[in-house]
């Protein structure tokens, strides 16, 4: 639940970044929150919780794959299709 | 940590959702103070989600795992609604971003970034729901 929430809080930190004139806050907030979670795990249980490791792995894979898919021909096709749906 | 997340949500969306009339915020696509109703629904569901996160982590911290598990059902329902309305919002945002004057690159980043976020959310929450009967398996 916490990792899913960290995944979706980026829209909020991005807006705060624009509000205070520090646009990198959005992308920087994800690693900062994940390191905070790791530190919390280590402090409270002396090891990183498996759910934390799993969530970090999923987030890292999505960060690598998202720009690749976005720039691909499949990404263009998806965008056109969804644009027609959203109108 | 959950209190920090809810604070980030409130501050981040103060101008465009929570205090939008105080700030006199205009919808970037419509140019009006009102935004489409599905965005209020989207904001309301996500606010519910983050409040639920705070409640759930507080329950675990106070060893009320019975209530925590009971509320987990509600969490599952809210999570499904977050995803359904989230996908709807992402799709509806494409023509809205055109109207708001966002360029092609920006629209792509917005679309695929938001879809990836929703996929990660589904995977994290799905894992937590599948493993919910195993003690100490979800990390909350």
ipTM attached to this prediction: 0.88
Task: Please write the tens of the pLDDT for every residue from B4-21.
Answer: 999 999 999 999 999 999
**Angle at which helices A10-19 and B2-12 pack, to 10 degrees?**
50
Task: Please write the tens of the pLDDT for every residue from A50-71.
Answer: 989 999 999 999 999 999 999 8
pLDDT band at A83 (very low <50, low <70, confident <90, very high): confident
Hey, what's the torsion of the CAs at A43, A48, A51, A53, to 10 degrees?
130
Which residues does chain B have with pLDDT short of 50?
none
Q: Report how many domains make up chain A.
A: 1
In the A/B pair of chains, how many CB contacts fall below 8 A? 131
* Rounded CA separation A82/B33 (Å): 26
The confidence score (pLDDT) of residue B4 equals 93
* Rounded CA separation B10/A84 (Å): 33
Give the predicted TM-score (pTM) of the model: 0.89
The confidence score (pLDDT) of residue B65 equals 84
Contact between chains at A19 and B9 (C-beta distance less than 8 A):
no
Residue A15 pLDDT greater than 70, yes or no: yes
Domain that holds residue A60: 2-85
**A86 interface with B at CB cutoff 8 Å:** yes
Ranges of each domain in chain B? 37-131
Mutation pick from A6, A8, A21, A59 vs chain B, by most beta carbons of B within 10 Å, is: A8
The confidence score (pLDDT) of residue B136 equals 65
**What distance lies between CA A39 and its chain's CA centroid?**
18
> Contact B94/A79 with Cβ under 8 angstroms?
yes
Contact between chains at A70 and B112 (C-beta distance less than 8 A):
yes
């Amino acid at each position: 639940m916490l990792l899913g929430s960290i995944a979706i809080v980026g829209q909020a930190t991005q807006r705060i970044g624009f509000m205070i004139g520090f646009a990198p806050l959005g992308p920087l907030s994800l690693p900062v929150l994940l390191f905070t979670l790791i530190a919390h795990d280590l402090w409270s249980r002396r090891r990183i919780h498996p759910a934390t490791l799993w969530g970090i792995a999923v987030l890292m894979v999505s960060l690598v794959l998202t720009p690749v898919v976005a720039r691909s021909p499949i990404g263009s096709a998806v965008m056109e299709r969804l644009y027609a749906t959203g109108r | 940590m959950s209190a920090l997340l809810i604070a980030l949500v409130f501050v981040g969306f103060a101008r465009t959702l929570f205090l939008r009339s105080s700030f006199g915020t205009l919808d970037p696509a419509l140019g009006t103070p009102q935004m489409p109703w599905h965005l209020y629904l989207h904001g309301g569901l996500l606010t519910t989600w983050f409040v639920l996160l705070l409640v759930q982590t507080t329950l675990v911290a106070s060893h009320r795992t019975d209530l925590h598990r009971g509320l987990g059902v509600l969490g599952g329902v809210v999570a499904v609604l977050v995803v359904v309305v989230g996908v709807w919002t992402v799709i509806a945002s494409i023509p809205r971003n055109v109207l708001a004057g966002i360029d092609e690159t920006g629209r792509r980043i917005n679309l695929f970034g938001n879809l990836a976020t929703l996929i990660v959310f589904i995977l994290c929450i799905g894992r937590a729901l599948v493993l919910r009967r195993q003690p100490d398996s979800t990390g909350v």
